[in-house]
Amino acid sequence: MEWYIPLGPLELAMLGYACMNRTLREREPPLRCNRGMQRKTWESRGIEYAAELARRNLADLYEILQWNAENDIYFYRCSSDLVPWNSQFDLEDLPDYGGIADLAADCGEFVREHGMRLTFHPAHWCKLASETESTVENSLTAVEYHADWLDLLDLDRSPYYGINVHIGATYGDKAATAERFRDAVARLSPGARKRLTVENDDKASLWSVPELVEAVGETVPVVFDYHHHQFTDRGLTYRAAFDLARTTWGDIRPVAHYSEPARLHGADARPQAHADYAAAVPAWLREAADVMVEAGAKERALLALRAGAD
């Protein structure tokens, strides 16, 4: 498979948003692609209900993608609840797997035909560098089923359609942790490994851009998170850190994350908290990366930002 580089308004970076579309979520009936279930429901209703939720999530994903296209949004992070409890079964085991695969294929076709970029971001308990083997196995499984979804969507095995994780811990020894992370990456299937990206953390003790580039940048592209950089700057300016992360992407347009501290917007919050809106994405970042805007107001923050910037 060749890497797909979309033609698009290249003078404008693609700006994206994550998971929930609030506008569509408020419709009646609500549209969303993150229906999940709690343990008791999983235990009582099992894979039949998981298949039902997956069908509804994929049907709504198609409508979310359509809404995005109508609103000139070409970058979207899809929820990790797309197929709930997928750690417990293979996609092929789902009742009506064929119908689910068809829905996914429609979504993927829409993404390709509109030159969209779609990514995933497994949750914080995905710890590929854990000291606990069972945790590493669970984390490998998580990355694999995200890759299975991208295969089902028929999107290329490239960080263009990335699966983004954090290392997210140091276990008191960064060098050893980096080695375990590299070992875990080597255990992934090729389809999962080719899509993996890694992001800088939001705590001083954890992983900065230069540390990630040094530790894993040769094989795993580094996503630069602008907001997180202030906690792990290691003396680098935002721009220097991004330029360093950029070197890990080869011919693929980098992904960067952008958000502003809630505190800047008047909220009484911890420094790491994201604001509901963003005032402006730096031009140098927009020009060189597809920018995922992580803001509480989701797609509304994106539309507001674009209206203000243009």
Partner DNA sequence: AATGGTCAAGCAGAA
Partner DNA sequence: TTCTGCTTGACCATT
- Residues lying near DNA in the complex (CB under 7 A) are found at 20, 25, 32, 34-42, 80, 84-88, 123-125, 127, 130-132, 134-135, 138, 142, 168-172, 203-206, 269-270, 272-274, 296
Please report how close the Cβ of residue 236 comes to DNA at its closest, in angstroms.
Answer: 19
Residue placing its CB nearer to DNA in the complex, 39 or 251: 39
Shortest CB 107 distance to DNA, Å: 20
* Shortest separation between residue 245's beta carbon and DNA, angstroms: 18
Give the C-alpha separation, 153 to 212, whole Å: 29
Look up residue 276 and give its two tokens: 């509901």
Nearest to DNA of 136, 244 (CB atom): 136
Instruction: State the DSSP string of 147-216.
Output: HHHHHHTT--SSGGG-EEEE----TT-HHHHHHHHHHHHHHS-HHHHTTEEEE--SSTTS--HHHHHHHH
Strand partners, 198: 165, 222
Contacts of 192 (CB under 8 A, 6+ apart): 143, 144, 146, 147, 163
Q: List all residues 6 or more positions away from 7 whose beta carbon is below 8 Å from its beta carbon.
A: 115
CB of 243 to DNA, least distance (A): 24
> Least distance from C-beta 227 to DNA, angstroms?
9
Q: Residue 93: count other Cβ atoms within 10 Å of its Cβ.
A: 12
Q: Which is nearer to DNA, 37 or 209 (CB)?
A: 37
> Which pair of tokens denotes residue 40?
């008791």
Looking at the Cβ atoms of 6 and 46, the one nearer to DNA is 46
Cβ proximity to DNA: between 25 and 253 the closer is 25
CB of 231 to DNA, least distance (A): 10
Which C-beta is closer to DNA: that of 163 or that of 252? 163
- Nearer to DNA by C-beta: 232 or 248? 232
Enter the DSSP assignment of 261: B
161 φ, ψ (degrees, to nearest 5): -110, 75
Helices (H), 38-132: 39-70, 97-113
Give the residue among 21, 104, 100 at the shortest CA–CA distance from 64.
21
Residue the block writes with tokens 């404008």: 12
Select 17 or 110, whichever has its Cβ closest to DNA: 17
Q: How many CB atoms lie within 10 A of CB 305?
A: 22
